[in-house]
Structure 1
Amino acid sequence: MTSDDSSRVDPALLAGNRCTAADYAARHFAWSVQDRVGTITLNRPERKNPLTFDSYAELRDLFSRLKHADDVKAIVVAGAGDNFCSGGDVHEIIGPLVRLKAPELLMFTRMTGDLVKAMRHCPQPVVAAIDGVCAGAGAIIAMASDLRVGTLRSKTAFLFNRVGLAGCDMGACAMLPRIIGQGRASELLYTGRSMSGDEAQQWGFFNRVCAPEAVLQDAQSLAREIANGPTFANGITKTMLHQEWDMGIDQAIEAEAQAQALCMLTEDFSRAYHAFVEKRRPTFEGN
């Protein structure tokens, strides 16, 4: 939103629906913003970056905040060291869970599901930078991202059945088949085996493959490219990609007609037209 736009909008409306995220102080992972790209780094490398009750909740809350943030236009999720994320911490999550009753267990599983919902509902495209171990909830975070940059040495495992649980965790049975196909997803969810980096590339789980030392840089470069595009329109695209899973083709075409008409009202659409006429690249501002 430009300063001219802000002057036309009631400040009370902006105050209730806009916030900043660059100044957010993360407690249970690293968070930084550069060039309108926010980077979440799971930073417990000595344990292969496992999640805890605290980090689950904070990730959920940060992605919920990003829904209203106007200073961040794309997100990268990465792991510190040579691994992405080993899933829920065995000692800090799995151990305590076996002592809980049903109400508290449901509280936990709903919290983890709410993280995926928040990732899917924030308008910023999310790019996962995947190297090394990407397992359990870590594999889910990678799956819930919009794009994935990976390495051939990575190992992605939806290993829930290895600990006596169903593969239907945090939306896996709905989302994974749409990414790699029903048969391949079924194999991974029934067996809990690792998907190699080569398989992830061939099956379309990874959008790009690069050297381990370049995975974060390449993911941030892709996120920066998206952040420099028509970000309002990108947010609409993300919304439609998510919503159209439940639509028939006629309903989807009508929904896209309405969405595209809305995008045609933006200044970015006008900027793109004038740039084309003037034979130059457009500079998008997200409004």
Structure 2
Amino acid sequence: MTITNDINPMQDQHKPLAGYRATHFSWQVSEDHKVATITLNRPERKNPLTFESYAELRDLFRALSYASDIKVVVVTGAGGNFCSGGDVHEIIGPLTHMTMPQLLAFTQMTGDLVKAMRSCPQPIVAAVAGVCAGAGAILAMASDIRLGTAESKTAFLFTRVGLAGADMGACAILPRIIGQGRASELLYTGRSMSGQEGHQWGFYNQLHESDQVLAAAHTMAAQIAAGPTFANGMTKHCLHHEWNMGVDDAIDAEAHAQAICMQTRDFHRAYHAFVAKSRPIFEGD
């Protein structure tokens, strides 16, 4: 298996992705073409990732930066589980035979998937049921909003297989979600975080019944998709990039961001709707 960091464009820039067909996972778009759902679809193995699915997910999230038709992305897994991580036979085994340059190409590719998720302007909602382990836990972590269940078992289990807890940005992102001490515990021990713990610690925004979590994610996605698309993308950009800013720099960055949003038609629509005492209908421009 050859691992590269080259993009193989699936679409021309700014071309809609509503008609995209995935090869290594399921891809569905809502009737209004605003919400796309990515379903990891190997339920017999609890939806593990392969070299090919990593690369296709990376390329898809990169392409979403140019897809004005998609407003929100939902990520989930089939068969009652989210994702069990890298496939033991199709990834872990081959990694033991790779050279250092090959290993680095692989780890950089997996990191590029997280970068692509954080860089695409669409908010990402993860609907997590059952097992959410290893790289699966990273996919949930890299999402903007996470909905889980009481039965969700989330494990950053890298140390349990002889690897560092530092994987795909976990040491940078997880402490910002649940705090340094809690993140340290999970990354050192590799133990599972229960759904209740995840909710109490702020990893999960909400908990739902297993058969309702995906519907709840779609409800939230539809609510976000009905909002001002450009402003939502700007919000995501600021949430991500202000991690590395001081307060004064962040305030300046948000001043620029807000001034730009004030030039959008959606901002003007909201004003005129307020004056007319009606609800604004945002069109994304």
Which TM-score bucket, shorter chain as reference? over 0.9
Q: Which amino acid letter does the alignment assign opposite residue 223 of structure 2?
A: E
Q: What CA distance in whole angstroms lies between the structure 1 residues aligned with 2:215 and 2:250?
A: 35
Residue 24 of structure 2 corresponds to 28
Q: What CA distance in whole angstroms lies between the structure 2 residues aligned with 1:80 and 1:21?
A: 22
1:183, distance to aligned residue in structure 2 (A): 0.2
Residue 240 of structure 2 corresponds to 242
- 2:39 is paired with a residue whose SS is strand
CA deviation string 1:143-196 (max 9, x = no partner): 000000110100000000000000000000000000000000000000000000
Q: What CA distance in whole angstroms lies between the structure 2 residues aligned with 1:223 and 1:200?
A: 21
TM score, norm. by length of structure 1: 0.94
> Would the alpha carbon gap of residues 265 and 16 (structure 1) be closer, same or farther in structure 2, given more than 3 Å must change?
farther
1:17, distance to aligned residue in structure 2 (A): 4.1
Q: What CA distance in whole angstroms lies between the structure 1 residues aligned with 2:69 and 2:275?
A: 30
1:136-151 to 2 correspondence within 5 Å?
136-151=134-149
1:16, distance to aligned residue in structure 2 (A): 6.7
Q: What CA distance in whole angstroms lies between the structure 1 residues aligned with 2:272 and 2:99?
A: 62
1:20, distance to aligned residue in structure 2 (A): 1.1
Q: What CA distance in whole angstroms lies between the structure 1 residues aligned with 2:68 and 2:264?
A: 16
Q: What CA distance in whole angstroms lies between the structure 2 residues aligned with 1:170 and 1:76?
A: 20
1:18-167 to 2 correspondence within 5 Å?
18-34=14-30, 35=32, 36-167=34-165
- 1:156 is paired with a residue whose SS is strand
CA deviation string 1:224-279 (max 9, x = no partner): 11111001000000000000001001100000000000000000000101111111
Q: What CA distance in whole angstroms lies between the structure 1 residues aligned with 2:101 and 2:175?
A: 30
Q: What CA distance in whole angstroms lies between the structure 1 residues aligned with 2:162 and 2:253?
A: 41
Q: What CA distance in whole angstroms lies between the structure 1 residues aligned with 2:279 and 2:85?
A: 42
Q: Which 4+ stretches in 1 moved above 4 angstroms?
A: none
- 1:213 is paired with a residue whose SS is coil
Q: Which amino acid letter does the alignment assign opposite residue 19 of structure 1?
A: K
- 2:211 is paired with a residue whose SS is helix
1:18, distance to aligned residue in structure 2 (A): 0.9
1:178-193 to 2 correspondence within 5 Å?
178-193=176-191
Q: What CA distance in whole angstroms lies between the structure 2 residues aligned with 1:131 and 1:62?
A: 23
> Would the alpha carbon gap of residues 16 and 42 (structure 1) be closer, same or farther in structure 2, given more than 3 Å must change?
closer
Q: What CA distance in whole angstroms lies between the structure 1 residues aligned with 2:257 and 2:15?
A: 24
Whether 2:157 is the aligned partner of 1:169: answer no
Same amino acid, percent of matched pairs? 70
Q: Which amino acid letter does the alignment assign opposite residue 22 of structure 1?
A: A
CA deviation string 1:69-117 (max 9, x = no partner): 0110000000001100000000000000000010000010000000000
1:9-20 to 2 correspondence within 5 Å?
17-20=13-16
Q: What CA distance in whole angstroms lies between the structure 1 residues aligned with 2:212 and 2:276?
A: 36
Q: What CA distance in whole angstroms lies between the structure 2 residues aligned with 1:32 and 1:16?
A: 20
Q: Which amino acid letter does the alignment assign opposite residue 109 of structure 1?
A: T
Q: What CA distance in whole angstroms lies between the structure 1 residues aligned with 2:166 and 2:17?
A: 32
Gaps of 5+ in 1: 1-14
Q: Which amino acid letter does the alignment assign opposite residue 27 of structure 2?
A: W
Q: What CA distance in whole angstroms lies between the structure 2 residues aligned with 1:206 and 1:233?
A: 24
Residue 10 of structure 1 corresponds to none
- 1:76 is paired with a residue whose SS is strand
Whether 2:271 is the aligned partner of 1:273: answer yes
TM score, norm. by length of structure 2: 0.95
Q: What CA distance in whole angstroms lies between the structure 2 residues aligned with 1:280 and 1:194?
A: 47
- 2:256 is paired with a residue whose SS is helix
Gaps of 5+ in 2: 1-10
Residue 214 of structure 2 corresponds to 216
| 8 Å CA contact retained: 2:85, 2:133 | yes
